[in-house]
Amino acid sequence: MTTRIRADLLSDTLTRPTPAMRAAMASAEVGDDVFGEDPTVRALEERVAGLLGHEAGMFTPSGSMANQLALRLHVRPGEEFICDSLAHVVRAELGAAAVLSGITTRTWRAPRGLLDPAEPLDLLSVGVGPYQVSTSLVVVENTHNFGGGTIQPIEAIRAVRAGTRPHGIRMHLDGARLWNAHVATGIALADWAASFETVSVCLSKGLGAPVGSVLVGSAEAIGEARVWRKRFGGGMRQAGILAAAGLHALEHHVERLADDHTRARRAAVACAQAAPGCVDPETVQTNILMLSTQPTGWTPAELAAALTDAGVRGYPAGPAAVRLVWHLDVDDAATAYAIDVLTGLLGQRARS
Ligand SMILES: Cc1ncc(COP(=O)(O)O)c(C=O)c1O
């Protein structure tokens, strides 16, 4: 018999469109977007570009494609981008920058994904061709997924910008969860986005849309990105059905992200009591709780399996952590259930 999952904390990509979102999708005006004729896609692109304070936007099927298009725009074959060693672009996009664009990468260490400006600035390789590889781009992730939903300090981002600008080195923000950083801090999306040539944001994570991301930048950069999107196979036709879900999410699902943050923090406090050292609740700033398994007596695989058996799904994230992510489809009751299960399991071995 399979256990009924009562709190699915595997990822914030699991959300299902709400009835209101489905209604918005069903009534969306559409056209052929490859010909630039889908009014709902245009509206979404303009809305996101406006929110982020950039000239233009482009809808993409995924966050990975938006990131890869940005890399393609900013870095020529044989040049490099740099990012932290836990960044999604380097850990979870299957080497796409190398495979698709002939780009090399170097990384800096960032505990919890937290940006220390000295790290990228020390790593920059400025105009060293033709013998060494020159740095063309710095990528920053905010919030930081594998770091545990970490919000980057805006001063740190600005310090990196100040250090890269004199050398003409560009910056791209992987803002898959920039909405969470905005809601948690009250800092305007445009202020977060101001230090970057391009920014990618996801509609299909905490915002609850089924598909899609938007890449924003200058009109020139986005014009070029449209050509590469088609080349990469990302030209979509009547995509307004999907864009309508994104517009609906922007209208109704941004401010509620604060609930996800509160629930994740509540769970963190309970876990820290059950197994001291497994998480510092102060570090749970948004919707992601990264539990260190070492102080719990469980391995990540064992803990994830025991959670699933009890009706709670989590993700074994590397050799020493389980990741739990809050989203639109996990309410207070599901959170209370997850906390009961988590504290029960953590308490078992932490005590013995
Ligand atoms: C930080 C970050 N960037 C990019 C992506 C890629 O998004 P997608 O799964 O839509 O390709 C993810 C997905 O989880 C992510 O967490």
Q: How far is the CA of 180 from the centre of ligand 1 (A)?
A: 14
Of the pLDDT bands very low, low, confident and very high (cuts 50, 70, 90), residue 33 is very high
Alpha helices in 154-239 (DSSP H): 154-164, 178-185, 189-193, 219-231
pLDDT at 15 over 60: yes
User: How many angstroms separate the CA atoms of 285 and 349, rounded?
Assistant: 27
Q: Does residue 176 have its Cβ closer than 6 Å to ligand 1?
A: yes
Fold exhibited by the domain 256-351:
Aspartate Aminotransferase, domain 1 (3.90.1150)
Q: How far is the CA of 177 from the centre of ligand 1 (A)?
A: 9
Which atom of ligand 1 lies at the shortest distance from residue 204's CA?
A: 10
User: How many angstroms separate the CA atoms of 201 and 50, rounded?
Assistant: 13
Q: How far is the CA of 241 from the centre of ligand 1 (A)?
A: 21
The domain locations on the chain are: 19-251, 256-351
Q: What is the pLDDT of residues 158-214, one digit of tens each?
A: 999 999 999 999 999 999 999 999 999 999 999 999 999 999 999 999 999 999 999
The pair phi, psi for residue 62, each rounded to 5°, is: -155, 165
Mean pLDDT estimate for the chain = 97
* Atom 7 of ligand 1, residue of closest alpha carbon: 63
Q: How far is the CA of 305 from the centre of ligand 1 (A)?
A: 24
Determine the CATH number of domain 19-251: 3.40.640.10
pLDDT for residue 3: 86
Mean pLDDT of 33-41: 97
Question: Residue 320, Cα to own-chain centre: how many angstroms?
Answer: 21
pLDDT for residue 352: 57
Q: Does residue 14 have its Cβ closer than 6 Å to ligand 1?
A: no
* Atom 4 of ligand 1, residue of closest alpha carbon: 63
Which of 132, 108, 112, 111 shows the shortest CA–CA distance to 120? 108
Percent of all residues in the chain with a pLDDT value above 90, rounded to a whole number: 96
CB distance 197 to 218 below 8 Å? yes
User: How many angstroms separate the CA atoms of 198 and 216, rounded?
Assistant: 5
Q: What is the pLDDT of residues 91-124, one digit of tens each?
A: 999 999 999 999 999 999 999 999 999 999 999 9
The residue length of the chain stands at 352
Q: What is the pTM of this model?
A: 0.97
Q: What is the pLDDT of residues 213-230, one digit of tens each?
A: 999 999 999 999 999 999
Q: How far is the CA of 205 from the centre of ligand 1 (A)?
A: 8
User: How many angstroms separate the CA atoms of 137 and 75, rounded?
Assistant: 7
Of the pLDDT bands very low, low, confident and very high (cuts 50, 70, 90), residue 1 is low
Same fold, 19-251 and 256-351: no
Mean pLDDT of 52-57: 98
pLDDT for residue 153: 98
